[in-house]
Amino acid sequence: NAGVMQNPRHLVRRRGQEARLRCSPMKGHSHVYWYRQLPEEGLKFMVYLQKENIIDESGMPKERFSAEFPKEGPSILRIQQVVRGDSAAYFCASSPPFSPGGNQPQHFGDGTRLSIL
């Protein structure tokens, strides 16, 4: 049973270019989350999606960042016109649908390390 798959593992972009990060959730998981981690820091929530819906994007910068989770295919985190401050590790997590027992555990992929030249 494959875990959360993220690609690419490493991505280098020049300032002003676009970055696309992809995430395939675990089998049976319908909820996807994106987090950002700066060096030597904890993870910061960005966005929470279910299929074809953005549920909570309170952690997303208002400009240049967008996310989607289409009916078919992986979730995509898109960063337009990248700047040096976008350099970070971006992690995706997935969880099963809600259950009466409460919140479901979030399982993480190994991330995409984004470097901006």
Partner 1 sequence: GENVEQHPSTLSVQEGDSAVIKCTYSDSASNYFPWYKQELGKGPQLIIDIRSNVGEKKDQRIAVTLNKTAKHFSLHITETQPEDSAVYFCAALGGFGNEKLTFGTGTRLTIIP
22 near partner 1 (CB under 8 A)? no
* Closest CB 52 distance from partner 1, rounded Å: 17
Enumerate residues 92-111 that contact partner 1 by CB under 8 A.
93, 95, 98, 102-103, 105-111
48 near partner 1 (CB under 8 A)? yes
Angle at 38 between CA 80 and CA 81, to 5 degrees: 10
Q: Measure the N-to-C terminal CA separation of the chain; round to a whole number of Å.
A: 37
Of 4, 21, 79, 116, the residue at the interface with partner 1 (CB under 8 A) is: 4
51 near partner 1 (CB under 8 A)? no
- Which residue lies nearer to partner 1 by CB, 19 or 60? 60
Are the C-beta atoms of 111 and 90 separated by less than 8 Å?
A: yes
**Rounded-to-5 percentages of helix, strand, coil across the chain:** 5, 50, 50
Residues touching partner 1, count (CB under 8 A): 29
Distance in angstroms (rounded) separating the CA atoms of residues 22 and 40: 24
